[in-house]
Every structure is written in C-alpha cells, then in structure tokens.
Structure 1
Amino acid sequence: MTHTAVKSLDVIIDNKQRVGYCSGEVVSGHVSLTLSEATAYTAISVFLKGYAQVSWMHKRSRCSEEKRCLSLSKTLFATTGPQNLILDSGTYEIPFDLQLPQSPLISSFSGKHGRVHYTVQAVLKRPFHESQRVCRELCIIGHIDVNVPTLICPVSQTCKKMIGWWIFTSGPISLTASISRQGYCSGESISIHALIENCSSCLVVPKAVMYQIQTYTAKGKTKSFKQVVASARGNAVPSDTSSRWNGNALNIPPVSSSILNSDILRVEYLLAVIVQIPSSKNLEVQFPVVIGTKGHDITGHSNANMGLLYPAFTPPDIAQAPPSYAEVMSEERRTSTCQSQPDWLLDGSAFTCAQQFRLQPPPPYSEICPSQQ
C-alpha cells in the first residue's frame, strides 16, 4: 500500500443549478473516491460547516473574530473494531445527505472586511496516514419574508431647510418623500413618491440613492463600509417652482439579502431621497430597506394608502357649463335687493346706472372663444 494509493477524492453536490439551500432543506450528493490499489481505511465522513469571519486593521493591530454558524456531520463508513476496512482498487461513489436545521441560517456573503461561508467536506481516514480532505463551497440562503406587517406599510418623511443666513436668506426648500413598503427582493423596483418645493433662488436637483451598509464587529470595535448599489436622478427644480415624483422607480440590482441575525457581520440597506443644493448641505430623508428572499404579494393592500399622501386630480372629460343666471338669482331676490337699499341711494342717478349693469344676466356660456369663431 503506497502513499499514492488514493488517486482522487471529491465531493459532488446534487442539483448544482440551484442558487442555494434554505433552512430545513436536505443537502445531498456523493463522495467520489478513486483508488489505484487496495487500500485500508478507518472511516469516510462528510461535514457541513459554516463560519462568519471578520478581519481588518485598526491602527497597527488586527481586529478579527470568527463564529461558527453551522456544524453537521455524517459518517458514511467506519470500523467497529480493531480491524481496518479494505477497499479494492477502482472508483467508488458513496451517497450522502445532510438535513439543514429549521432554525434561521445566516446567508452566504463576501464583503469588504469579512464573509459568511459554508463548505461540505469529505474526510478519508487511513491508518498510519494523515487524513485526506476535500472541500466544496455551499451557498446558504437565510430566508427573510418581506410580507411581515412591519415591512408592508407605507412610510413617509418630511424635511425643510432655509437657504442663506440672516438677511441673506432666499427662501426655504422642502422635501416630502414616501415609499409604499420597506421590504423588497432583488430585481424589484422601489416606487418613490416625492414633492420638492423650491422657494429659494437656487437651482436644485433631486435624486434617489440606495446604499448597502456592511457592519463588522470584533474585539469591541466596529468597522463599517458603505457603498452605492442603485441610484436614480430627477429633473432639476428651478427657483420658485415645485416638482413631484409620482411613483418614480428605482430598480434593485441583484444584491445579497439583508443579514440581520449575526453578531459580528451585518448587511443592511438604506434608501435616501436627496435634494442637491449648490454651495450648501443637501436636503435628505432616509428609509431603512430590507432585502429578503420571498417576494412581496402584489395583490396586497400596501399601495392603497399612497393616494392619501399624494392625491391625484383627474379633470372631467367634458367641461360642464356653469349654472344660469336665473338658477342662482331669482326675480324675488333681485327685487328684494333693490328694496333693501336706503331711499337716498335709490333716488340717485348713480344707482340707476349701476343697477342697469348689475341686474343684467351674464352672457351665455360657450366653450368657444368669440374671437376664434
């Protein structure tokens, strides 16, 4: 029996096309083993392990920490006595399956200063030899349902800012923004409603930005990394005008789901609606956003209240004529109006002239301007 008796050792995961595995699912596959000669062994096992790891430099020292997220194992073959097992030369495919726990799992993630990773490892133990190991990366998806009540309600914020100082103020700029919900999935769009009122002398530009915020914790210290994952720009708003966003869409690109259940690594998302003001600090409102793994029910009622925040006015298709003079001013009312005046005014010529025009009905209503006929 030589050291090169094991020609190859590999782990093959079934259904490689799938994106990842969630809580409660079964990870299945087989261990592929090729031997060049008869080989003795004591055990063949598979392990599924997951770790959250963070590391960064703080001044001249390194802050790092590691926490285990998952640990499963299964022994496929093992000796039950002092005698070793013998496998003849050839190729063997040994199936295995590992049941993931029902409890929430942390999603696989790779960030600026840390990662969450899972591996399936096959271990071959041989007498008088070091154990041989082979690993394969496994993607785990931590399930986040965005249909919970806290994530499907509309939210709104308002802020206002005066431009200038003391006697040089030029007027306020106000921003009111709202979104129909706070839970989304990758590939969806965030519908943004906003009202920008520019009473200043500046030309301002509104935009929407979605950030991913990675937060790492180790040895009592915290490190954050913030990056833009999506943005949209609106039209410039001139001085003394206003602009309205009626459901402007911000498309969410393929991004990692939020990680909210880890002590050392968190991934959060933030939507900011910003009004850029030249030579001044921007006006901004922020909405925390959760990226989940289960899509929003489009038949839900989360959009029902958006009309209350920004009611839409729809003009009638056909203009209606105003009421006639006779309908609003009866003969009795005209007579009583004249009789209610004092005697000294009724006798004057000025009153006679005024009454001649005041008591005449207005011209008939027409949708066509006389000058265009």
Structure 2
Amino acid sequence: MTTKIRAFVLSFSDGQEVFYSGQTVSGKCLLSIDAPLKARGVRLAIKGEAHVFWTKLKSRRKESSVGVDRGENYTEQYSSREVYFNLRTTLWGKGEKDRKGDNPVLPAGEHIMPFAFQLPSSGLPSSFEGEHGHIRYWLEATVDRPWTNDYKTKRAFTVHDVIDVNLDQMVVPIEANDERTLCCFCCKSGPLYVEARLDRCGYCPGEAIAISTCVRNFTNREMRGTRARIVQTAEYFAQGSRHKSMREVALTQGVPIQSGLTDEWHNRLMTVPAIPPTTLQCRIIRITYIVEISVVVPNGVDVTLELPITIGTVPFRRSHPPRTRGGGGGGHHHNHHHQQRRHGGGGGGDSQPPTYAEAMGNTVTIGEPNERYVIGDLRYTPLYAYVHDYHFHPSPPSASSSSSTSSSAQAGGGGSYQQARAPNERTRLIQDASGGGSGGGHTS
C-alpha cells in the first residue's frame, strides 16, 4: 500500500518568524500519514546563507576551422555563496549515518515532533531577497526513505541584524548644499542654490524622514520643482566582479519654482516603507541607502544632493539631548557631531516594542528549480521591523523668506501626522515591477 502524506508542515513556537543572533528557533514538525510509513528517519536542517548569481553577455574573437578570424558572443556566469550555518538533527528514526539493521516504521496518523536550534551569537546579516541574490534562513525537513525519493518541506524565517538608530552617529542631522550657474548658448543666468537637511541619519521602516530644503532660484527660468526620494543600492560581488542595481522606494515632489523666488520645505515628511535594513555583515551582498534631493531643471541637468542614511532594526526613541546644526559645504554632506552623550540604557518615554511588516514586492519561492516531492507552500516574504503610528516632533522652524513659497509638515495628534501640500504636489511609495504592495505606512 502506498502511503499518502496528508500534511507535512513546519511551524514556529508562538508564531514567531523573526529572530536575532543567539536566539533559539523552536517549533514543531507535523507529519500526518494515512498508512504506516517505513523510513530511515525524519531529519531537520536549519540553514543560513547568502548567494549571488548573475550573467553577462560578452564577445570574443575566435578563429574558425578555415582560419578566418570572427567574433562571437557568449554568456559568462558569476556566482558566489557565503554559508553562515548548516545544522542538522534527527526528529525520529535512526541516525543519519546509521545504515545497519531494519528501518523503523512510523504508524499511520498525526505525528508532532518538536525541535529547537540556537542561532550563532554573531555574524548574521539581515534577511534580504534581491534580483540577483539573497540572504536567506530556512528550515528543511526530510522524510529519509530507502531506495526511493525523499519527501521534503521547507519554511523560511527572517533574521535581523541589530542596527540601533539611537546610536550617537545615527541621531545627528545631515545636510548638504550646492550651487550651479545655468547657461543656455551664449546667455548666462544667475545661480541656482540648493540646500537640504535631514533631521537624522538613521531610520526604521514606518518612521518618517523630516526633510528641510531651501532652493533659491536666481536663474532666468522656472524650475519644475524639488524632488526627494529614497534610493536603495544593492551590490553583488562574485569572482572579483560586481553587479549593481538601484531602485527608488519612496518619493515626494513639490511644485514649480518661478524665477526669482525661493522655495522652502520645513520638516516635510517622507515615510520609510518596509524595506531591508542596511547590510553590514555580508561580504557578497551590500545594501545601502541615500536620500536624493533634486531640483528638476527643464531641458538641463538636475541639481542633485545625495544624503546617505542607515535603515535600522531598532526603532527611534525620543530620549536624546537637543542637537545643534552646523555649517554646510558646497556639494558635500556633513554629519554634525553633537557634544553630549546619552546616559543609561535607553527606553525613552514613548519606546514601544517593534512590530513587523512584509517587505514591499519581495515575495519569493524558496524551492529549487528542479526539486521534486516538496510538500507545502514555499512562498516567503521577509518581515522587517515597522513602526506604526509614528509621531514626528519637530524642532522650532527657522524664519523663512517673505518671498518664498513653502510646504511644511506639522506634528499630528492622536497617533498620526499630517503634511500640508501645495497644489499639484504628490507623495507616493514606489511599488516594484511585479506589483507588490507599498509595505504599510503612508503620508497624507
């Protein structure tokens, strides 16, 4: 009689699906069969690795059989793997290397087999699923059957590196400025001056970046407006080569700026969507972020400032001392180091345990392409720390020019914030090409 597998499922204790280095991953393996099953055993492995893969089309010269030199195209493959752990145990049956004697028989019915693994205490980068690679952690259970194909099931989980956005270097403001003179044929106009400032350098998903800008348009043409966006850069490394991809994950845009006027944003808010943290501990995948502030120049090259930020996993607490703003330099960003240090262990007055949100547009299938006899749902979406009902507490704004057009964000009440918009302004989160969700938070 052929045994039918009714259910083969892995689940985590208390529904926990997000873990940190050193924590214990525990749960149970449920195997339900309608007839006795003869097998060597039921094995369970827990794995963590980074893997990258991409191809590149190249050309080369090749001499033909008749001596004619000709060109040909070929595809070169790049791949690399970094293993963090691969731990195995037997949940039922004989040991994995035991091949002596008869194999045991698992009776028909439902069998629940508990498990527990302790993750390594350090060196685990945050989970990431990208176009050309991943950092992935998963469980893999196998019914080890003699002389036939094994049954398998898999379940991925998310690991977070501890990136605390409350560290001193994360809570200081960052700013940049630039000035450009626009030319059109023989005509030279006045300068376009751009200054931008972020309230800090580190953010968790769900928190809002407070953006302050000042654009002085002394040119003889109208600018199309100020634009701010969060840009994610993913770099993959293999065989001495690098592959780089960039994507826009959030955007906010202002109104046109007439010639001779100044446009200012005072703490304009842009919510960080559910995106992967900055990657610090992986040698073959690097994830970084910038806030790009641009003034859109019609029929010309935009004036752009790039302000690097860190996306973390420990939410911001408001127990920090007041900070002062330093001077800026042309075309460069500056971190302003404050002179006071925070004391104590840190849970500020409005500190809350993090909740989690699914990564925007990052659902993947964790099965291998030619893998057979794998049972269950293999879809996986990473979960990232997400701050719901984020409250922004602005510092007192500086006086603005009487000839300026401005848009500012006010602190909201009752667990929300509001953003004042001028006509035709827009704020949106960017979904990936597969149509994935925006990952939660919104700006309204």
User: TM-score category by the smaller chain?
Assistant: 0.7 to 0.9
Q: Would you say the 8 A contact 2:55–2:77 is kept in 1?
A: yes
Counterpart code for 1:62: Q
**Against the structure 1 CA distance between its residues 98 and 8, is the aligned structure 2 distance closer, same or farther, given a 3 Å change threshold?**
farther
Counterpart code for 1:121: E
Secondary structure at 1:21 match in 2: strand
1:86 is aligned, of 81, 96, 105, to 105
1:244 is aligned, of 264, 267, 270, to 264
Aligned: 1:288 with 2:308: yes
Aligned: 1:312 with 2:312: no
Counterpart code for 1:187: G
Task: Tell me the CA shift for residue 77 of structure 1.
Answer: 3.3
Distance across 2 between alignment mates of 1:57 and 1:169? 47
Query: Rg larger in 1 or in 2?
Result: 1
- 1:218 equivalent in structure 2: 238
Task: Tell me the CA shift for residue 307 of structure 1.
Answer: 9.5
Distance across 2 between alignment mates of 1:268 and 1:177? 20
- 2:161 equivalent in structure 1: 142
Task: Tell me the CA shift for residue 313 of structure 1.
Answer: 4.2
Task: Tell me the CA shift for residue 129 of structure 1.
Answer: 4.0
Distance across 2 between alignment mates of 1:85 and 1:311? 75
Task: Tell me the CA shift for residue 171 of structure 1.
Answer: 0.7
Task: Tell me the CA shift for residue 141 of structure 1.
Answer: 2.6
Task: Tell me the CA shift for residue 40 of structure 1.
Answer: 3.8
Counterpart code for 1:273: I
Task: Tell me the CA shift for residue 275 of structure 1.
Answer: 1.0
- 1:67 equivalent in structure 2: 82
Q: Would you say the 8 A contact 1:104–1:143 is kept in 2?
A: no
Task: Tell me the CA shift for residue 24 of structure 1.
Answer: 2.2
Structure 1 unaligned regions, length at least 5: 315-373
Q: Would you say the 8 A contact 2:53–2:133 is kept in 1?
A: yes
Task: Tell me the CA shift for residue 117 of structure 1.
Answer: 2.2
- 2:251 equivalent in structure 1: 231
- 1:53 equivalent in structure 2: 51
**Against the structure 1 CA distance between its residues 93 and 18, is the aligned structure 2 distance closer, same or farther, given a 3 Å change threshold?**
closer
2:141 is aligned, of 111, 114, 122, to 122
Q: Would you say the 8 A contact 2:35–2:108 is kept in 1?
A: yes
Task: Tell me the CA shift for residue 295 of structure 1.
Answer: 0.7
Distance across 2 between alignment mates of 1:216 and 1:37? 48
Distance across 2 between alignment mates of 1:92 and 1:219? 46
- 1:96 equivalent in structure 2: 115
Aligned counterparts, 1:251-262, within 5 A: 251-262=271-282
Task: Tell me the CA shift for residue 274 of structure 1.
Answer: 0.8
Task: Tell me the CA shift for residue 160 of structure 1.
Answer: 0.6
Q: Would you say the 8 A contact 2:235–2:285 is kept in 1?
A: yes
Q: Would you say the 8 A contact 2:173–2:198 is kept in 1?
A: yes
Task: Tell me the CA shift for residue 28 of structure 1.
Answer: 1.7
Secondary structure at 2:125 match in 1: coil
Q: Deviations over 1:79-111 (max 9, x none)?
A: 377344333332211111111222142222222
- 1:317 equivalent in structure 2: none
Q: Would you say the 8 A contact 2:52–2:133 is kept in 1?
A: yes
Aligned: 1:154 with 2:173: yes
**Against the structure 1 CA distance between its residues 262 and 151, is the aligned structure 2 distance closer, same or farther, given a 3 Å change threshold?**
same
Q: Deviations over 1:241-268 (max 9, x none)?
A: 2222211111212222222321222221
Counterpart code for 1:61: E
Distance across 2 between alignment mates of 1:177 and 1:130? 61
Task: Tell me the CA shift for residue 179 of structure 1.
Answer: 1.1
**Against the structure 1 CA distance between its residues 261 and 61, is the aligned structure 2 distance closer, same or farther, given a 3 Å change threshold?**
same
Distance across 1 between alignment mates of 2:130 and 2:236? 10
Q: Would you say the 8 A contact 2:26–2:115 is kept in 1?
A: yes
Q: CA RMSD in A?
A: 2.6
Q: Would you say the 8 A contact 1:186–1:254 is kept in 2?
A: yes
Counterpart code for 1:312: S
Q: Would you say the 8 A contact 1:161–1:172 is kept in 2?
A: yes
Distance across 1 between alignment mates of 2:295 and 2:17? 38
Counterpart code for 1:244: E
Identity among equivalent pairs (%) = 25
Higher share of residues assigned helix: 1
Aligned: 1:22 with 2:20: yes
Task: Tell me the CA shift for residue 159 of structure 1.
Answer: 0.7
Secondary structure at 2:18 match in 1: coil
Distance across 2 between alignment mates of 1:270 and 1:117? 24
TM-score by length of 2: 0.64
Task: Tell me the CA shift for residue 131 of structure 1.
Answer: 3.8
- 1:174 equivalent in structure 2: 193
Distance across 2 between alignment mates of 1:134 and 1:10? 6
2:211 is aligned, of 185, 192, 200, to 192
Secondary structure at 1:139 match in 2: strand
Secondary structure at 1:191 match in 2: strand
- 2:92 equivalent in structure 1: 77
